[in-house]
């Protein structure tokens, strides 16, 4: 069998960088392109972050990078989180590339996504790591786009109405609830959701994190640099018992969706049911609701991941910062 063809849609922050590195070293994966969207940072910063990751991994001349949505479908606010720094990578990179725009493809992310999938129908796995704006626009431009995908993996949403940026919503869905709604209503391809709770409940120890970033390899040194501020925040939260999710374990959120795409056997338990994203209400906007009693009468179910093989996941993380880069 040939390699699994993958498109990565990302708002490249630190955990996105980890997920991208994981895909780059997976021998069974071929990354067709990386499409950028706003989220952890402004879309121009996201583009530069992706180029930086590819450069560290010696793949910047191999994988095309596309600039996409600069904001949500509705509203003009871009409430970027500062958890990963203002640039999404911890504000530690000083030598910004003045020529970065010349290295970005002229084709828009949404157009590139539609083209690449149309050229490889029913072969492409799309891994969405940020707000789903590019994906929503893709189905509006090409209503048949979802049916051309092999599968979709999403890092986002929540299972129990517990939010991490609002009272009831997870970051990626909260930044563009309308796009999340469109994708989970209209993408009828096999869809796998790595929710916020799933990531948190399959977290790793801080001892593992120290071993991970202290490997003697360029990628590990890069990850050590960009995680220096947010890991310190998380450890302080743990010491002060202030935040059970951000502090008690090391969680590389986006890497869970990527790992599930790379190795489906890593997922040991999931819930198959319809879901819907709430668009109304001052408290519930952006929340993902699981319909376990078929009240929505939807014909399409998704797989909401609940448990994973932590040992396999740990190995994928370790290999992503240790192995020689694929060419």
Residues 6+ apart with CB under 8 A from 106: none
The catalytically annotated residue of 9, 11, 45, 142 is 11
Euclidean distance between CA atoms 145 and 114, whole angstroms: 7
What pTM, to 2 d.p., does this model score? 0.93
- Is 327 inside any structural domain? no
- Over range 75-89, report the average pLDDT: 64
- Is 312 inside any structural domain? yes
Euclidean distance between CA atoms 32 and 35, whole angstroms: 10
Q: Tell me: the pLDDT tens digits for 159-188?
A: 999 888 899 999 999 999 999 999 999 999
Mean pLDDT of the chain: 90
Structure confidence at residue 248 (pLDDT): 78
- 193 vs 245, residue with greater confidence: 193
Tell me the pLDDT band of 319, cut-offs 50, 70 and 90. very high
- Over range 193-205, report the average pLDDT: 95
- Rg (the chain; Cα; Å): 18
Residues 6+ apart with CB under 8 A from 131: 11, 37, 38, 39, 69, 72, 156, 172, 173, 175, 176, 179, 180
pLDDT of 10 strictly over 60: yes
pLDDT of 252 strictly over 80: yes
Nearest in space to 107 (alpha carbons), one of 214, 201, 33, 192: 33
Nearest in space to 60 (alpha carbons), one of 43, 45, 42, 48: 48
Q: In this structure, are strands 288-290 and 275-277 parallel, antiparallel, or unpaired? A: antiparallel
- 26 vs 235, residue with greater confidence: 26
Report the CATH number at residue 219: 3.90.245.10
What kind and span of H or E run contains 117? helix 109-119
**Catalytic site includes residue 243:** no
- Over range 152-157, report the average pLDDT: 98
Euclidean distance between CA atoms 14 and 321, whole angstroms: 13
Number of domains in the chain: 1
Euclidean distance between CA atoms 200 and 251, whole angstroms: 6
Q: Pick the range with the lowest mean pLDDT from 56-65, 84-93, 211-220, 317-326.
A: 84-93
pLDDT above 90 covers what percent of the chain? 80
Structural domain boundaries, residue 98:
4-322
Tokens representing 74? 């509705």
Residue 30 burial by Cβ neighbours in a 10 Å radius (0-12, 13-18, 19+) = middle
């Amino acid at each position: 069998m040939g390699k699994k063809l993958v498109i990565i849609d990302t708002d490249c922050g630190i955990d996105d960088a980890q997920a991208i590195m994981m895909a780059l070293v997976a021998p069974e994966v071929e990354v067709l392109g990386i499409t950028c969207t706003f989220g952890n940072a402004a879309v121009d910063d996201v583009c530069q972050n992706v180029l930086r990751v590819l450069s560290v991994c010696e793949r910047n001349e191999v994988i095309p990078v596309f600039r996409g949505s600069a904001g949500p479908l509705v509203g003009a606010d871009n409430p970027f989180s500062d958890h990963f720094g203002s640039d999404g990578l911890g504000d530690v990179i000083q030598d910004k590339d003045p020529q970065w725009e010349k290295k970005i493809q002229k084709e828009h992310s949404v157009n590139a996504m539609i083209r690449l999938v149309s050229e490889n129908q029913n072969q492409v796995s799309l891994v969405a790591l940020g707000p789903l704006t590019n994906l929503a626009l893709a189905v509006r431009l090409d209503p048949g786009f979802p049916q051309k995908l092999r599968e979709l993996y999403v890092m986002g949403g929540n299972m129990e109405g517990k939010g991490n940026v609002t009272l009831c919503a997870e970051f990626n869905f909260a930044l563009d609830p309308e796009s999340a709604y469109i994708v989970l209503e209209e993408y009828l391809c096999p869809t796998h959701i790595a929710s916020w709770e799933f990531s948190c409940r399959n977290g790793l120890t801080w001892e593992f994190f120290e071993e991970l970033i202290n490997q003697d390899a360029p990628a590990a040194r890069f990850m050590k640099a960009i995680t220096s501020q947010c890991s310190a925040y998380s450890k302080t939260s743990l010491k002060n018992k202030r935040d059970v999710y951000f502090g008690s374990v090391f969680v590389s959120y986006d890497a869970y969706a990527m790992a599930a795409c790379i190795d489906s056997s890593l997922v040991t338990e999931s819930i198959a049911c319809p879901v819907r994203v709430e668009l109304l209400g001052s408290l519930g906007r952006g929340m993902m609701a699981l319909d376990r009693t078929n009240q929505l009468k939807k014909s399409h179910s998704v797989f909401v991941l609940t448990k994973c093989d932590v040992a396999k996941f740990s190995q994928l993380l370790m290999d992503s910062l240790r192995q020689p880069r694929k060419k």
